[in-house]
Structure 1
C-alpha cells in the first residue's frame, strides 16, 4: 500500500494522488537524467522521526544541485497529509501503520518548464529486526575516487543525496551475489567512506575511554542523520566522539562496527570480507537503545 501526495501550490496541504496510475511526465528530468534529490525517513505510529534533520539535509543537497525547493512548511504539511492518509488506509485493513517509510522526492521537473516536481511517498517500512539483532556480512568495495575528490570536483555532487543511485544499487547487487548483505565503500587512497545507504559507526574502548567514531564528511560522504542523533545521545551518556579519517584496519581493530540509516536504524556488522569482527550483545543493545531514544 503506497500513499502519494504531491506538493502543489494550489493545494496548501498537498495534493493526494493515486499511486496505482502514472503520475510523472515522461520527459521529467528526474526520469530522463536522474536530476533530483530525495530523503527517506521513518515514521512510527504516524509520527515522523527527525523530519527537521532530513529537511535540512534536503536543503543542503538542493544547494549543491542548484535546485529550487518548495517551502519547508509545504513539506511539513504534505508529510502530515501523507501520514494521515496512510494511517487511515491502514485502519481500513490494507496495511500496517506502525512503522512507515516516508520518501521525499524533488526533481528538476519537466524539461524546459523550469518548475520542480515534488512529492511525498509513504509505504510500510521493511522489517529490519533480524539484521538489527543478528547482524550482517559486509564487503569492502572501491568507490572509485580518492578522499579529496569532493573538494577538488564539486560537480561530482559527493555528499548530496541525489536520485542517481544506480551505482549504490549495483554495489548491493554485487555483494549479495557474492554472499554478503551490504557494502562499505572505500576511497581509492584507502579511506573508509560509507555504505550504499548508510553511515559507518565504530565503537572502541581504550584506557577506560569509550569512543564512537565515524568517517570524516569532507571525504565526500553523505551526512548521516541517524549517526548524528546517535552521537548526540552517546555524548550525553559519557561517550567521546571522533570523526575520522578512518582506514579499513580501524574497522577490524574496533570493539564493534555498525551501519546506521533512517529506516533500518543501527545494524551491527559481524564480518567484513569474510573476516569476523568483535561483537558484544551488551554493547549492541546499549547503542541501539541510545539511538532509539534519540530518534
Structure 2
C-alpha cells in the first residue's frame, strides 16, 4: 500500500509518522480495529465500526469524525491505493500529550491499509500449532493497543 490516512490527511506510507508525544506511544492509551476488504468491499463494515466506537467510548477517546466520514475515508483510501483485496487497521490514540501522561482533548486517528493475512493451503490442509498461555487480558471489553503478551510468547 502506498498511502495512509493520518488525522484526515492522505500521507505517503514513507512519510507516515506520529510524534513522540502521542500518549498512545508513551502510555499505550489507544484502541484499534482490523477488518478485511474483498473485491473492494469491507466485510462486516458496520459491525467492526460498532466495535471500534464501543471501544472508543469505553476508553473515553473521542473519535474526531462521524461514522459516515470515517467510512468515506476508508473507501477513498482503498480506491487511491488501487487495491481490491486488503485489510484495514484503524487506530485511535489519546493524542499528543504535553506531559507524556495526560491525554489530549483531540485524539489521533490513523487508517492504515495493509495486505490481508492469507492462510497457506498447507496450513488449511494440515492445521497449525497453537500454544495456550495462562493470561487474563486487561480490558477484554475493548480492542486496546496492548498486545504485549502475544509478542512475549510468540517465539517460545
TM-score when normalising by structure 2: 0.86
- 1:53 corresponds, among 42, 47, 61, to 47
The match for 2:29 is: 35
Deviations 1:185-206 (A, max 9, x none): xxxxxxxxxxxxxxxxxxxxxx
Shift of 1:139: 1.9
- 2:142 corresponds, among 157, 160, 185, to 160
Cα distance between partner residues in 1 of 2:67 and 2:106: 16
The match for 1:215 is: none
The match for 2:62 is: 68
1:137 aligns with 2:129: yes
Cα distance between partner residues in 1 of 2:136 and 2:144: 18
Which has the higher Rg, Structure 1 or Structure 2? 1
- 2:90 corresponds, among 104, 109, 112, to 104
Aligned 8 A contact 1:45 1:98 in 2: yes
Cα distance between partner residues in 1 of 2:48 and 2:60: 18
3-state DSSP of counterpart to 2:28: coil
**1:77 to 1:19, Cα distance in 2 relative to 1, 3 A:** same
Shift of 1:125: 1.4
The match for 2:81 is: 86
Greater shift, 156-165 or 126-135, is seen at 126-135
- The alignment's C-alpha RMSD in Å is 1.8
Cα distance between partner residues in 1 of 2:32 and 2:11: 19
Gaps of 5+ in 1: 9-14, 88-96, 146-155, 175-295
Q: Which has the higher strand share?
A: 1
**1:3 to 1:134, Cα distance in 2 relative to 1, 3 A:** farther
Shift of 1:38: 0.4
Aligned 8 A contact 2:36 2:116 in 1: yes
The match for 2:6 is: 6
Gaps of 5+ in 2: 99-103
TM-score when normalising by structure 1: 0.47
Cα distance between partner residues in 1 of 2:51 and 2:136: 24
Shift of 1:169: 2.1
**1:73 to 1:137, Cα distance in 2 relative to 1, 3 A:** same
Whose relative contact order is higher, 1 or 2, with alpha carbons under 8 Å and at least 6 apart?
2
Aligned 8 A contact 1:7 1:74 in 2: no
Deviations 1:8-41 (A, max 9, x none): 3xxxxxx211210242111011111111000110
Cα distance between partner residues in 2 of 1:102 and 1:135: 26
- 2:115 corresponds, among 117, 124, 139, to 124
Cα distance between partner residues in 2 of 1:33 and 1:133: 41
